[in-house]
């Protein structure tokens, strides 16, 4: 349906502030800036437009299809070189990059270095819906696997393919008309927030700054303003999608209402390639942030107090809790509570007093007032960076963020954790210290409060079915990639993954059985029920109507009914 069929809704893999004491949505230290030339995409576009693409040193042929990247398409002899050349002409003034051409090695990369081995047969940087339509016609004609990509944050690598990547990052427009904003689906989240802030507006969304807005929204869009304003998909008023037949469809509650319904939580990559999104925007009152910490010895008490407090407060409060382990750092374990409050620091402090009473002790840290943009930078792990710096250097010259590998799993909880479960979660975090972890390794769990505006939407009103949760848990582990290019999942990282699987399994008896589709988990066997619940049959009918031949497919993609 759009870019990035998996990730989205929260802080991106491993992106975090240098101020590591602040528990933004994922408590992982920001790595050093990613290697590679600044402004790579712009440079490659210019080189390709010149009509004389040059071979890149060390880049080889497309070779065999990467494991798990064909999205289930049948083997096919594929298009000829002349056919690819014809597609390049059809895309003018867009850009097509193929193996062996200048910029291919960088253009094929996703956010997570675990997928650096993937080698698509082509990457098309589309600048219009017509470009997208041309790409899909090519894919249909030659039975070429196709994947849509914006931020490239899919936890399973499903933003790539052995065939053609339809990249929408050049579709990054922003238009505001009163309280309505229309954006191209390639706009990155931090740029979306920056342009909103310039106009005194806000739209709820996640906190990973480099995520594309499309993948985030189409899978739901959990974020730090959700309890007050709802999910990103709840604020979606219209979407333009190029469907499998190449038609450009403008969808809202009146036009193609079934496809619009599916676009609000049905997950990216399922029904077409989204090219623009229209949101209702909000004007916010004063905004307050808080970042609190306690000694690790109080972790169980903090968790018990937090879960009795955060989901039950007024809509203006959102909070998260992190249990983190970083054995190589100065503090091997940490328990931290963060949050946003739409009001004054004084009113926030009164609410925090209720948390302290539930915990039995006061955390260190004080609430402070800030602007919407500063808050979004803080939550993105960019509190000491400018908006241009809150990017990857390969995409924005001033960027100071880094690509980083990460494994993730999730659970929604609809009942409070009993004492035995709290003990398992804390003890499981402590066990990370014994896994013989990889360099720069960390692991833990982040709990995001639900309720409020999120839960006042009926589970069938949108495709996002998770409307009865108290909180969402994400279990993550990350590390520093090794020095050899493409060799990033070493024995230490594999042990970390086993640890993460164990912690997730230990908590499953207490969870609802649902999982967040934007934290896509290729190991999840019951993913249809976990991601979509009772909404899956309707989503399958929408798939039958708009993509009966399954042009858009991946291992956890929605399939036609029957």
Question: Per-residue pLDDT tens for 32-89?
Answer: 222 233 333 333 333 333 333 332 322 222 222 333 334 444 445 689 999 999 999 9
pLDDT digits 0-9 by tens, 427-456: 999 999 988 666 789 999 999 999 999 999
CATH code for the domain defined by 287-375+398-530? 3.40.462.20
Per the omega criterion (within 30 degrees of 0), is the bond before 93 cis?
yes
Strands in 432-484 per DSSP E: 442-449, 471-478
pLDDT at position 76: 54
Same fold, 174-283+540-546 and 287-375+398-530: no
Going from N- to C-terminal start, the domains of the chain cover 40-167, 174-283+540-546, 287-375+398-530
Which token pair is 471? 């909180």
Domain 40-167, CATH: 3.30.43.10
What's the confidence (pLDDT) of residue 428? 98
CA of residue 447 relative to chain centroid, distance: 16
* 498-521: average pLDDT: 98
Using the predicted structure, report yes or no on whether residue 309 has a pLDDT greater than 60: yes
User: Taking 80 as the threshold, does the pLDDT of residue 390 lie above it?
Assistant: yes
How far apart CA 132 and CA 273 sit, in angstroms, is 7
Encode pLDDT of 177-199 as tens digits.
Answer: 999 999 999 999 999 999 999 99
Rg, C-alpha atoms of the chain: 22
Q: Residue 302 pLDDT > 50, yes or no?
A: yes
| Structure-block tokens of residue 50 | 């010149």
Q: What is the mean pLDDT of residues 533-538?
A: 98
Single pTM value for the model:
0.88
**Nearest C-alpha neighbor of 166 from the set 192, 190, 140:** 140
Q: Which CATH class is domain 174-283+540-546?
A: alpha beta
pLDDT score at 92: 77
Average of pLDDT values for 519-546? 98
């Amino acid at each position: 349906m759009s870019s990035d069929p998996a990730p989205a809704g929260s802080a991106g893999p491993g992106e975090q502030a240098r101020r590591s004491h602040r528990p933004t949505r994922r408590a992982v230290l920001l790595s050093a800036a990613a290697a590679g030339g600044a402004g790579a995409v712009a440079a490659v576009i210019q080189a390709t437009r010149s009509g004389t693409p040059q071979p890149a040193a060390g880049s080889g042929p497309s070779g065999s299809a990467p494991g798990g990247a064909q999205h289930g398409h049948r083997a096919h002899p594929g298009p000829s070189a002349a056919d690819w050349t014809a597609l390049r002409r059809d895309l003018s003034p867009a850009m097509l990059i193929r193996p062996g051409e200048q910029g291919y090695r960088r253009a094929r990369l996703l956010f997570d270095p675990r997928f650096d081995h993937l080698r698509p047969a082509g990457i098309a940087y589309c600048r219009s819906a017509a470009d997208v339509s041309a790409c899909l016609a090519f894919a249909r004609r030659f039975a070429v696997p196709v994947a849509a990509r914006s931020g490239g944050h899919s936890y399973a690598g499903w933003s790539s393919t052995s065939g053609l990547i339809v990249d929408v990052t050049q579709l990054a427009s922003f238009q505001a008309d009163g309280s309505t904003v229309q954006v191209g689906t390639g706009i990155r989240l931090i740029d979306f927030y920056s342009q909103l802030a310039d106009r005194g507006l806000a739209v709820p969304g996640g906190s990973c700054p480099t995520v594309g807005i499309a993948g985030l929204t189409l899978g739901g869009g959990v974020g730090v303003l959700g309890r007050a304003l709802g999910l990103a998909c709840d604020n979606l008023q219209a979407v333009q999608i190029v469907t499998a037949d190449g038609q450009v469809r403008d969808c809202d509650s009146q036009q193609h209402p079934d496809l619009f319904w599916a676009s609000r939580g049905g997950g990216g990559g399922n029904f077409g390639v989204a090219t623009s999104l229209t949101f209702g925007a909000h004007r916010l009152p004063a905004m307050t942030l808080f970042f609190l910490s306690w000694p690790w010895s109080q972790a169980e008490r903090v968790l018990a107090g937090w879960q009795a407090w955060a989901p039950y407060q007024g809509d203006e409060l959102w909070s998260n809790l992190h249990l983190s382990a970083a054995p190589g750092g100065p503090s091997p374990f940490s328990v931290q509570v963060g949050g946003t409050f739409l009001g004054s620091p004084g009113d926030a402090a009164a609410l925090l007093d209720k948390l302290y009473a539930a915990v039995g002790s006061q955390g260190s840290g004080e609430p402070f007032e800030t602007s919407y943009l500063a808050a979004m930078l803080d939550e993105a792990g960019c509190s000491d960076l400018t908006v241009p710096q809150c990017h990857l250097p390969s995409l924005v010259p001033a960027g100071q963020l880094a690509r980083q590998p990460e494994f993730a799993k999730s659970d929604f909880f609809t009942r409070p954790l009993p004492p035995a479960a709290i003990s398992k979660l804390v003890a499981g975090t402590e066990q990370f210290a014994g896994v013989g972890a990889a360099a720069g390794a960390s692991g833990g769990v982040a709990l995001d409060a639900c309720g409020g505006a999120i839960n006042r939407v009926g589970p069938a009103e949108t495709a996002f079915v998770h409307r009865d949760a108290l909180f969402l848990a994400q279990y993550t582990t990350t590390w520093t990639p090794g020095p050899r290019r493409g060799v990033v999942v070493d024995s230490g990282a594999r042990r970390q993954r086993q640890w993460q699987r164990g912690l997730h399994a230990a908590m499953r008896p207490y969870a609802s059985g649902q999982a967040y589709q934007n934290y896509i988990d290729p190991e999840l066997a019951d993913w249809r029920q976990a991601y979509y619940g009772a909404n899956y049959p309707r989503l399958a009918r929408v798939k039958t109507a708009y993509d009966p031949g399954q042009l858009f497919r991946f291992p956890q993609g929605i399939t036609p009914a029957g």
